[in-house]
Structure 1
Amino acid sequence: MRMFWSSRSPFARKAAMVAHECGLFDRLELIDVPIPGPGPHAGLNRATPIAKLPTLVTDDGLVIAGSPTICEYFDDLGQGGLIPRAGAERWRALSRQAMADGMLDMLLLWRADLRRPEGCQSARQQGVYESRLIATLDRFEGEAASREGFDIGDVATGILLSYLDFRFPEIDWRAGRAGLRQAHATFSARRSAIDTAFAAGA
């Protein structure tokens, strides 16, 4: 299997980490796509017209796009048990993944705005991102004490917190959130998290 990814993409890291948890990491050829790159990546563009990371090409040539779909494919193929098969547990896990992914989308937009010239940035929009981040973190903190096991929601939440450390080190998300702090320490100690850690770069 080949997966187009970047060691600086939170969504690509999530897919790679799930592959690791499912015992599939050694079967995965990771094709690094620079972000931002010097131009279109020919291999990625051939695989998918939207040219987004991550994109998986299976051994039989099936192209699977989008981290939630790729994660579900890995979990099914490797019988990883990260995505509950039915019932409320399934929907809770997938909803937590969606919430963390949605916040990551906003962090990418926030970072893009911060990289604009100062006069072109939107303080109002950055304030919206910040308030939504605080609300999301507080929601996860409220759920941390009752969390058991490890599922796709925990993967996505752990990557969200790691991305904050990686790209927004000035945000002290640990303050007043002992549950999340402990959950993230446990997450960061997993071999799958260590082997897929974010790489420094622009």
Structure 2
Amino acid sequence: MQLIYAAASPFARKTRVVASETGLTSRLGLIETTVLPVDVNERVNAVNPLGKIPVLLTDDGEALYDSRVICEYLDSLHDKPRLFPADPGRRWRTLRLAALADGVMEAAVLTRYERAARPAERQWDEWVDGQLAKVRRGLASLEVSTDLLNEPLDIAQIGVACALGYLDFRFAELNWRHESPKLAAFNEQFADRDSMRSTAPV
């Protein structure tokens, strides 16, 4: 298998953490690239018409995207406890938290694009404020759900940790720990996992 990814992408990091936690890293070839909204990356476009990363090229010649699909596919290839729970009660709670983490990541990435890729005179401050408000609301909701992050390892914990890692990487000025002490405690412990340390953004 081959993963087309960018080291700074929290969505790509999530797939790499899943590969590490499931013992699949040795089966995963990494193809590093960059994708910005204003760029045309023909290699990525050829396998994902949306032009987004990550993309997983399976051994069967399939191209899988987005990160949610890739993570669930990887979770089907190992014999360890599943990261996507089968029990309906826990499954939907987990997927809801995972979706919330993805939403925080998406809003943060869009803000990063607006600030870094768009010329300063064309940036839309109100739009940025709206995206960062999504981040703050998402973190507030996760803060009151941290008890659900204490269950056996699952995709929600991985997603939340990657979202928080991206905020530290790109948005240190948000000082999110001040408003989210329980999330901060979760992150401090989770960030020490080998899978997180080996995929830290650069």
Which of 119, 122, 125 is 1:123 aligned to?
Answer: 125
User: Which residue does 1:6 correspond to in 2?
Assistant: 6
- Within 5 Å, which residues of 2 pair with 1:1-202? 1-36=1-36, 40-80=40-80, 81-115=82-116, 116-146=118-148, 147-199=150-202
| Contact 1:83/1:152, CA 8 A, preserved across alignment | yes
What is the TM-score with the length of structure 2 in the denominator?
A: 0.90
| Contact 2:164/2:187, CA 8 A, preserved across alignment | yes
Q: Which moved more, 1:88-97 or 1:23-32?
A: 88-97
Q: Secondary structure at the match of 2:145?
A: helix
| Structure 2 unaligned regions, length at least 5 | none
Percent sequence identity is 34
Aligned residues: 199
Alignment-mate amino acid for residue 146 of structure 2: A
Q: Secondary structure at the match of 1:4?
A: strand
RMSD of aligned alpha carbons: 1.9
CA-CA distance at 1:128 after TM superposition: 1.6
Alignment-mate amino acid for residue 171 of structure 1: L
What is the TM-score with the length of structure 1 in the denominator?
A: 0.90
Deviations 1:7-51, CA, capped at 9 Å, x for gaps: 111111101110111110111000011344996445433323333
